[in-house]
Amino acid sequence: MATTQGEQAASVPRQQQRRYDEPEPTGWTGWVGFAGIIMVLVGTFGAIEGLVGIFKDQYYLVSKNDLVVSVDYTAWGWTHLVLGVLVVAAGFGVLVGQLWARAVGILLAMVSAIVNIAFLAAYPVWSTIIITLDVIVIWALAVHGREMKVR
């Protein structure tokens, strides 16, 4: 006995039915998961970097006057701490496939890259690593982020 397409759809549980406008999940969802994990990691490191700036100004390589933006390391510390906490929260949202987290994650990765360019003189190797990871996060979320929701 032949079944119609409607009967086949009715026999498939609701959560397994796919809409035509949803992308088929591919192996690229691993990149989105990677981006979420990197966001949590980079946010945690940024928060630690912020705490160092708040409590131990003399840790960094140059004085505040040699930075691109000449402000006190305590102000930089608070900037890194707040940004780090927000990146961690967005990273967890990305891992569970939330659309808001994807959009916020891209925005925060852009802000993080800009902040680390301005902070480059104080901690050059670390800032370069963070900028690189921010670019990878932006790419993964912008290109393949939608697939994570389907997964």
The tens-digit pLDDT sequence of the chain (151 residues) is 555 555 555 555 555 555 556 656 666 678 888 899 999 999 999 999 899 989 987 777 777 777 777 778 888 889 999 999 999 999 999 998 888 999 999 999 999 999 889 888 888 898 899 999 999 999 988 886 666 655 5
For residues 112 and 148, the answer to whether their CB atoms sit within 8 Å is no
pLDDT of residue 88: 96
pLDDT of the residue at 9: 52
Collapsing DSSP to helix, strand or coil, 65 comes out as: helix
Element (H, E) at 137: helix 124-150
What does the block give as tokens for 82? 């707040």
pLDDT of residue 83: 94
H helices of 56-121, where?
73-95, 99-118
- Rounded CA separation 28/71 (Å): 41
State the pTM of this model.
0.74
Residues in the chain: 151
Compute the CA torsion angle 38, 39, 44, 45 (nearest 10 deg): 60
* Closest by CA position to 108, among listed 124, 126, 84: 84
Element (H, E) at 52: helix 29-55
Q: What is the pLDDT of residue 42?
A: 92
